[in-house]
Amino acid sequence: MAKRDYYEILGVSKGATAAEIKKAYRKKAIEFHPDKNPDDKTAEAKFKEAAEAYEILSDADKKARYDQFGHQAFENGGGGGFGGGGMNMDDIFSQFGDIFGGGGFGGGFSGFGGGGQRRVKGSNLRIRVKLTLEEIANGVEKKIKVKRKVQAPGTTYKTCSTCNGSGQVTRIANTILGRMQTSAPCNVCGGAGQTIDKKPADADAQGLKVAEETVSIKIPAGVVDGMQLKVSSKGNEAPGNGISGDLIVVIEEEQHEKLQREGDNLHYDLYISYPDAVLGTSKEIDTVTGKVRIKVEAGVQSGKILRLRGKGIPSINGYGKGDLLVHVNVWTPKTLNKQQKEFFESMQNDEHFEPKPESSDKSFFEKVKDMFS
């Protein structure tokens, strides 16, 4: 089932400001909040949907990638966004609790179910994955070894005595405006609501240890250099009953030996000899799906561009494939033997060797214009 447009979900235009996006999200969150709609699965789904939209549109970098590539910019085998199964209610309240405020439902939100503590989230991990042009064109599944922090076996936790398990401490201060009450994450447990009870010797102060895990990453066809994909819950774990961070996968495109990428199109430089240009020939060239043989007509001019439609990179938005543009370059010999030199000298004044461009022979600038149109 196709995902709904994020702007449509929040009811804002594509040119909406950050403040307008935040205001629209808060309105939707209040309307579909679980405290207001108990046991209503439809409302809960819309609450999560709005949080997913806000998570993307509130981040300038993610918003730019969404505007350019749509939902596929964040998809990774279903683990791209909240709606793909990576985010639950605790994730939403942990990440966006500041939008709701610090009180109960009447003055904001306290958390799912009306007042539970907000769970601490582990830190994200970031890795780079190098892809060949062929892998980008066809999509690929990579198995990557990742070192991440996990809870050490034998670690136990107890309720934090400072915040009594709430993860928040309340302070009252006297100001010129009167007595002010503020809430902040507990500085003893870091907002987790729990502290270490027992831990093995090889665990750190939070009861975590580094372990290596093989993570399978499905990379869709058409990704671009620098694009980031998210694998939910494969970052560092959090202590106690916290939730795991995410694994951020940064795409790094390896340079191809013969093909140059430009968006979804590919470029190939084909060099042919002078006799081949005069008489015509057929040549075998590389593509991202294997080798193909193309025909070069007799009398071809240097700079001619042959377009192989659909032989480029698939659009990440699902709009078909780009083309392979073959640039013909006629190779002029730099050294000649006596016989060859005499032949060309005899042809210098021959009318067949006189340049006679026709209206169909486009200039260099016209060819560049056609390439980008």
Contact 138, 221 (CB under 8 A): yes
Tokens coding 373: 């149109």
- Domains, the chain, with CATH or none: 1-119 (1.10.287.110), 123-148+202-254 (2.60.260.20), 156-198 (no CATH), 259-372 (2.60.260.20)
* CA 204 to chain centroid: 32
282 in Cβ contact with 158 (< 8 Å) = no
- CB 73, CB 56: distance < 8 Å: no
8 Å CB contact between 324 and 308 = yes
Determine how many CB atoms are found less than 10 A away from the CB of residue 152: 18
**Does 160 appear as a known binding residue?**
yes
Q: How far apart are the first and last CA of the chain?
A: 33
Phi-psi region of 336 (alpha: psi -120 to 50; beta: other; left: phi over 0): beta
| pLDDT recorded at residue 363 | 60
pLDDT at 229: 92
Residue 120 is predicted with a pLDDT of 81
Burial 30-60, CB ≥16 within 10 A → b, else e: bebbbbeeeeeeebbebbbbbbbbbbbbbee
Element (H, E) at 268: strand 265-273
What's the predicted TM-score (pTM) here? Answer: 0.63
Residues with pLDDT less than 70, the chain: 1-2, 35, 75-118, 175-178, 359-373
User: Which pLDDT tens digit goes with each residue over 205-262?
Assistant: 889 999 999 999 999 999 999 999 999 999 999 988 888 999 999 999 999 999 999 9
Q: Could you tell me if 227 and 65 are in contact, meaning their C-beta atoms sit under 8 angstroms apart?
A: yes
Residue 339 marked as a ligand binder: no
Per the annotation, does 335 bind a ligand?
A: no
Q: Give which of 119, 188, 199, 216 is closest to 154, Cα–Cα.
A: 199
Q: How far is C-alpha 205 from the geometric centre of its chain's CA atoms?
A: 34
CA–CA separation, 242 and 124 (whole Å): 13
The closest of 150, 83, 92 to 116, measured between CA atoms, is: 92
Q: What is the pLDDT of residue 170?
A: 85
56 labeled binding residue: no
